[in-house]
A and B are shown apart, each in its own frame.
Chain A
């Protein structure tokens, strides 16, 4: 028996039955578990569920009949005859193409696009289409009077019981009818289903980007639900406006059936102005259909793709919808979701006729079952497909009763929130004894003790939050040591716990622990020098197998989490207890968990990470106080909420607080993060690190690693081995470090020692590196940094004329290699590009979409008294507005750093660099 195929039939063998129940059970349990986590089920439907309306074959038969029976007055043109003949005798490959060509030709005649139709065909074909439309609307299986099928009813019930979104390729609107019907006749629903029809919301068909935006940017949705209709197969109406030129339906594509038209004397007319209405649709295989489908799919990626817990496909062969196939393929690659493909089997063709090849063998569906890591694709077959949905629904309800998660009551979560608030207050205090604080924290039962007892977590205390910047600016070792990544992560954990309890509509302890884990673990992958080291990896272009970007701390965090959760029994137990998986934890850390407000707390442009580090950095850099933070938090929480789509919404004081945070970030960029004197010192660090790494990677050990098939199952260059070698050095170095050492300085000294003892390296570079180390170690305080800026840094504003980033990168590399230890070039991006946490530029997906995920809604950016914004917008769509509000200009800079003391060499190198930058138009003349 095929592992992924299940069969529901009265002729099932007991073995079949067990197999069926096991799979349905697994699927329903998964849906139930994810329902408690606020996740959604995506149901993709096709014409197979709408037996009460004509399907494509019936439509084509009718067209053929209308053409063949047309009276003799029609002298068919040769062009039409050619098209029609091709359609009637297509090869298997050309089937959709010829069908589409015929339909387009007929529709062009009807829509008045006469330039594409032969004169003799115009009138007859327009008549054929008119008759077809009337038949389609009012015929035996007319759309206007069609009743929803049993399948629509079950899907409606699923909507009412679980979080479901349907994506349909049907034009019949029967699901909406099923909803309307249950609202108007509360008794219509079957008794065995819980009757909540009075409470059930309205179903809105979503057909365009605008409707998507409207639905998802609403603060409240009045419990309404949506069905996403792919534009292609949907009927459209356009009022010609011949009787009323200002008819609202004129030139507007209206969704039918039934809502905008009426039929009088076999004539379709607009129900507002009674003018003739034209009805048309886009058919499978046309470019128009695919491109418009992509727009709809874009909305799914933007608003809820990450929230999908599983996919059910029913009544859809997937043959005609390549965009949906590509979307699913992308989705399943990104997240290993279970999929159930439900199709009908024909009893007449025999019980054993399972037609394996029809699903597994074809490209459109084979990916659902093959190449999935844990066989999550299920192919379910039944004569009445809705029975399988019914079974899933019943099982879901059974598990829902069993698996209830205890939600906090109001008093409980208010108490807990105030506990976290007190802790946050303490953590920002300058005289905090962090060790005692941690001991106290472990005593609290709302934080699982196990999460602190992990070596990797405790090692974070070695790594400074700001690298050596604190050391250079404040010059005091004790401050440096207090401002570490462990303290930061604990701060993020406390802030996110507090905000979660404050804003979550129904908080529960499992979700709280899950958020705390993500908050505490989010920075585990930082090594000494953190982003500086990542820049070096980026310069070298080292990409690990399976990754699309060069090595960074996110990738390392992922690996460490995998390792911890595999080896730490306590943590494993905890994860089982709260019912979250390792991949869910990683998704949340990456901001791709799917539940908007939870992602927003952990990884978003205004996540708790940014809140903590900005205030913490400001306090440690002597640029802010604890009180600033308290005021910020009070304002921020005041108008912060979570809407029905689980998006975080900000208005009035919360928006004001957000702008304050971004503006504060800008100041920190100017004064600390992008300050040229500090970047000079970092460039010196990079010179040392890069030289050291270059040598470490020539060691025999790297090549031996390549032979280790267990550690590196895939190997096509040495990037992974080299990364591993560098990471091991860093980890080993910090493990053996004395407690009173400044971690980054210690690591640098170890590197310099190794460089100095290396006989292959040129003496002049050794001297340069020694003097770099000197300046790194001796720079302490603001004045010293100022001095560097005056004496060793030249800054040029980057031209606005546009240039290629790769050319700039090449020049920087050339200068680095050709003037060793003499000069360094640094590109500094404008703070406006960082103001929202640089939104990742996404590659176009194979389904034609390209969009970032949104989970935060905001309004009132422009706060003029009495004139607040009426509408919410997605945060990602207001970047320009915020930059304008904060007066952030888009200026980028090139810094040239003088490293060598030799004036002649430096002048030569500087001339060359400036000449090259000007030649490429990167900086302006003069």
Chain B
């Protein structure tokens, strides 16, 4: 059985405060970089920026955008920094929506492409975690074939791991990342599914320990799309991911992430397909910049 590995990375470039003050416009260009197996990374971009606000926009339109009845006179718009932050936060919601739409487009397109090449193949998507439920909702409405497709949102940065988010000052969670780290590192057990009622959630969180040799590598977190599937099927999906990552060729060189608490650095490795998307993104980012600046000053 052939397993296709797909990496998806999203990013956006947007107007800086100084441009906004000059033009009265907040613009953003979202972009997706993706890669299938050993193919060259590709990118997907809409060649027109999302435009959130422009001067002389109708009052009604602005009010719809900012959803603010408490400040009907929109006086905040006269102060650029306030207007900028207002527009930026509203823009973020819209950028999330557009990125979610772009991801579903790429996912569906790639599934068609790969299924038409080989109907027996299986697809594993590694999507760099984005902090928006929009993409999960949109993927949910697609009812993708879960036997064929495994979608995993990958978190590797310390800030995105459960420990820092939930541990806080409270009692340590039984199944947080520290607990996972403190367990005896048996070579056979590389992953642990964090128990939850799978019906409550559209995703199932899994911690994964990189099979390390010398250095101590931080674990990864995968949120696996688990719509309508049983616990056994989730285990199967985790096994597929484990199988892929057991092979060191499918992982990259260590990613070094500075710890947020100043306790040294966290080192980890991530799926190679995803890492190559991240690296290629820098190159493509320029194109987004050109679109953004072309619109601003062109």
Interface of A toward B, CB cutoff 8 Å: 326, 329, 333, 363, 371, 543, 545-548, 690-691, 694-695, 697-700, 702-703, 706-707, 709, 714-718, 722, 759-763, 765, 817-822, 843-846, 908, 912
Q: Are B64 and A715 in contact (CB under 8 A)?
A: no
- Residues on the A chain within 8 Å of B145, using CB: 760-763
Judged by a CB distance under 8 angstroms, whether B77 is at the interface is: no
Cβ-neighbour of A818 out of B64, B73, B97, B202 (below 8 A): B202
Binds A, one of B7-15, B100-108, B266-274: B100-108
Q: Are A762 and B146 in contact (CB under 8 A)?
A: yes
- Residues on the B chain within 8 Å of A821, using CB: 143
- Residues on the A chain within 8 Å of B107, using CB: 698, 760
- Residues on the B chain within 8 Å of A699, using CB: 105
Q: Are B59 and A371 in contact (CB under 8 A)?
A: yes
Within the assembled complex, what's the spacing in Å between the Cα atoms of A599 and B298? 49
Judged by a CB distance under 8 angstroms, whether B48 is at the interface is: yes
Cβ-neighbour of B48 out of A694, A709, A760, A818 (below 8 A): A709
- Residues on the B chain within 8 Å of A547, using CB: 64
Within the assembled complex, what's the spacing in Å between the Cα atoms of A703 and B142? 18
- Residues on the B chain within 8 Å of A912, using CB: 199
Distance (Å) between the CB of B83 and the closest chain A CB?
15
- Residues on the A chain within 8 Å of B232, using CB: none
Q: Are B98 and A759 in contact (CB under 8 A)?
A: no
Over the window 41-57 of chain B, the binary record of Cβ atoms lying under 8 Å from chain A Cβ atoms (1 yes, 0 no) is: 00000111011100011
Q: Are A329 and B50 in contact (CB under 8 A)?
A: no
Cβ-neighbour of B69 out of A543, A817, A844 (below 8 A): A844
Q: Are B108 and A760 in contact (CB under 8 A)?
A: yes
Cβ-neighbour of A717 out of B56, B94, B140 (below 8 A): B94
Q: Are B73 and A700 in contact (CB under 8 A)?
A: no
Q: Are B69 and A762 in contact (CB under 8 A)?
A: no
Q: A762-B144, A818-B199, A818-B202 are in contact. Are A695 and B108 (CB under 8 A)?
A: yes
Judged by a CB distance under 8 angstroms, whether B228 is at the interface is: yes
Q: Are B144 and A702 in contact (CB under 8 A)?
A: no
Q: Are A817 and B59 in contact (CB under 8 A)?
A: no
Within the assembled complex, what's the spacing in Å between the Cα atoms of A86 and B109? 72
Within the assembled complex, what's the spacing in Å between the Cα atoms of A548 and B102? 25
Q: A716-B52, A717-B50 are in contact. Are A545 and B105 (CB under 8 A)?
A: no
- Residues on the A chain within 8 Å of B69, using CB: 843-844, 846
Interface of B toward A, CB cutoff 8 Å: 46-48, 50-52, 56-61, 64-65, 69, 72-73, 91, 94, 97-98, 101-102, 104-105, 107-109, 111-112, 115-116, 137-138, 140-147, 149, 199, 202, 227-228
Cβ-neighbour of A333 out of B59, B105, B109, B144 (below 8 A): B59
Q: A698-B142, A699-B105, A714-B61 are in contact. Are A817 and B199 (CB under 8 A)?
A: no
Cβ-neighbour of B65 out of A702, A716, A762 (below 8 A): A716
- Residues on the A chain within 8 Å of B116, using CB: 759
Q: A706-B48, A716-B65 are in contact. Are A765 and B143 (CB under 8 A)?
A: yes
Q: A548-B64, A843-B69 are in contact. Are A819 and B141 (CB under 8 A)?
A: no
Q: Are A333 and B48 in contact (CB under 8 A)?
A: no
- Residues on the B chain within 8 Å of A698, using CB: 101, 104-105, 107-109, 142
Q: A326-B72, A371-B58, A716-B94 are in contact. Are A546 and B111 (CB under 8 A)?
A: no
Q: Are A820 and B102 in contact (CB under 8 A)?
A: no
Least CB separation from B228: chain A residue: A820
- Residues on the A chain within 8 Å of B51, using CB: 714-716
Least CB separation from B90: chain A residue: A716
Q: Are B48 and A715 in contact (CB under 8 A)?
A: yes
Q: A760-B112, A762-B145, A846-B73 are in contact. Are A820 and B227 (CB under 8 A)?
A: yes
Within the assembled complex, what's the spacing in Å between the Cα atoms of A699 and B112? 12
Q: Are B115 and A760 in contact (CB under 8 A)?
A: yes
Distance (Å) between the CB of B215 and the closest chain A CB?
39
Within the assembled complex, what's the spacing in Å between the Cα atoms of A709 and B138? 26
Within the assembled complex, what's the spacing in Å between the Cα atoms of A326 and B72? 9
Within the assembled complex, what's the spacing in Å between the Cα atoms of A765 and B145? 9
Q: Are A818 and B50 in contact (CB under 8 A)?
A: no
24 contacts between A and B (CB under 8 A): A326-B73, A333-B59, A546-B61, A691-B142, A694-B104, A694-B141, A694-B142, A697-B104, A700-B109, A716-B91, A722-B101, A759-B116, A760-B142, A761-B144, A762-B143, A762-B147, A817-B140, A817-B202, A820-B227, A821-B143, A822-B228, A844-B69, A845-B72, A846-B73
Q: Are A371 and B56 in contact (CB under 8 A)?
A: yes
Distance (Å) between the CB of B35 and the closest chain A CB?
19
Within the assembled complex, what's the spacing in Å between the Cα atoms of A817 and B139? 10
Indicate the member of B56, B64, B115 with the most A CB atoms within 10 Å.
Answer: B64
Q: Are A819 and B64 in contact (CB under 8 A)?
A: no
Distance (Å) between the CB of B17 and the closest chain A CB?
19
Q: Are B137 and A817 in contact (CB under 8 A)?
A: yes
Distance (Å) between the CB of B144 and the closest chain A CB?
6
- Residues on the A chain within 8 Å of B102, using CB: 703
- Residues on the B chain within 8 Å of A714, using CB: 51, 57, 61
Within the assembled complex, what's the spacing in Å between the Cα atoms of A707 and B46? 7
